[in-house]
A and B are shown apart, each in its own frame.
Chain A
Amino acid sequence: MSTLEAHPVSAGEKPLAAPRRLRWPRLTLAEAFSFLFLLLLIAGAIFADRIPGLVRPNFPYGDFSRPPEWSINGLFGTDGLGRSIFSRILHGARATLTIVGIATLISLGFGLLLGMLAGYYRGIIERFVDLFANTVAALPPILVILALLTATGPSVTTMTLALGFLEIGTYARIAKGGVISQYDRDYILAARALGASDARILLREILPNLMPTLAALVPPLMAGLIITEGSLSFLGYGIAPPAPSWGGMIADSTDLLSRFPLLIFGPILTIVCTVFALNTVGDYLSRRIDRREKQL
Chain B
Amino acid sequence: MTVPSDIHPLLAVENLSCAVPGPAGAMRILTDVSFTLPHATALGIVGESGAGKSMLVKTIMDIAPSRAAVTGAVRLDGTALQSLDTRTRRTTLGRRVGMVFQNPMTSLNPFVRVGRQVEEASRKHLGLDRRAAREKAIALLRAVGIPDAAECYHGFPHQFSGGMKQRIMIATALACDPELLIADEATTALDATVQKDILDLLQTLQQRRRMSMILVTHNLGVVAGRTDEVIVMYGGRLVEHAPTERLFASPRHRYTAALLSAMPRIDQPAHTRLATIPGQPPSLAHPEPGCPFAPRCPAAIDACRAAMPPMTVSADGRHRFACHVPLDAGISGDASVRQPEAANV
Contacts and interface: CB of A to CB of B under 8 A. Distances in A.
A51 interface: no
A194 B208 contact: no
Given A195-B90, A195-B95, A16 B159 contact: yes
B248 interface: no
Contacts, number: 133
Interface string A234-275: 000000000000000000000000000000000000000000
B325 to A, nearest CB: 40
A208 B156 CA distance: 13
Interface stretch (A80-88, A94-102, A184-192): A184-192
Interface stretch (B11-19, B107-115, B213-221, B271-279): B107-115
B305 interface: no
A251 to B, nearest CB: 45
A26 interface: no
Secondary structure at chain B's binding surface: helix, strand, loop or mixed? helix
Given A16-B152, A195-B93, A196-B94, 17 more contacts: A5-B142, A6-B142, A7-B204, A8-B145, A9-B145, A9-B197, A10-B193, A10-B194, A13-B161, A19-B151, A186-B107, A193-B61, A195-B92, A195-B125, A196-B90, A212-B111, A296-B110
Nearest to A193: B99
A57 B157 CA distance: 53
Secondary structure at chain A's binding surface: helix, strand, loop or mixed? loop
Interface residues of B, number: 61
A208 B112 contact: yes
Interface of A: 1-10, 12-16, 19-20, 22, 185-187, 189-197, 200, 204-205, 208-209, 211-212, 295-296
Given A195-B94, A197-B90, A12 B63 contact: no
B283 interface: no
B201 interface: yes
B193 A12 contact: yes
B111 A194 contact: no
B77 interface: no
Interface string B112-143: 10000000110011000000000000011011
A138 B310 CA distance: 63
Nearest to A293: B110
6 contacts: A4-B139, A15-B146, A186-B102, A189-B107, A190-B169, A195-B121
B83 interface: no
Contacts of A2: 208
Contacts of A10: 193-194, 196-197
B35 interface: no
B21 interface: no
B63 A192 contact: yes
B286 interface: no
A185 B104 CA distance: 11
Given A16-B151, A193-B94, A195-B95, A296 B158 contact: yes
B41 interface: no
Given A7-B204, A208-B111, A19 B161 contact: no
Contacts of A197: 87, 90
A205 B191 CA distance: 28
A192 B144 CA distance: 22
Interface string B164-179: 1000010011010000
A295 B155 CA distance: 14
A186 B142 CA distance: 24
Contacts of A190: 99, 101, 107-108, 169, 172
Nearest to A186: B107
A64 B43 CA distance: 90
B158 A13 contact: no
B154 interface: yes
Contacts of B314: none
Contacts of A211: 111
B140 A4 contact: yes
B31 interface: no
A282 B219 CA distance: 49
B142 A4 contact: yes
A7 B201 contact: yes
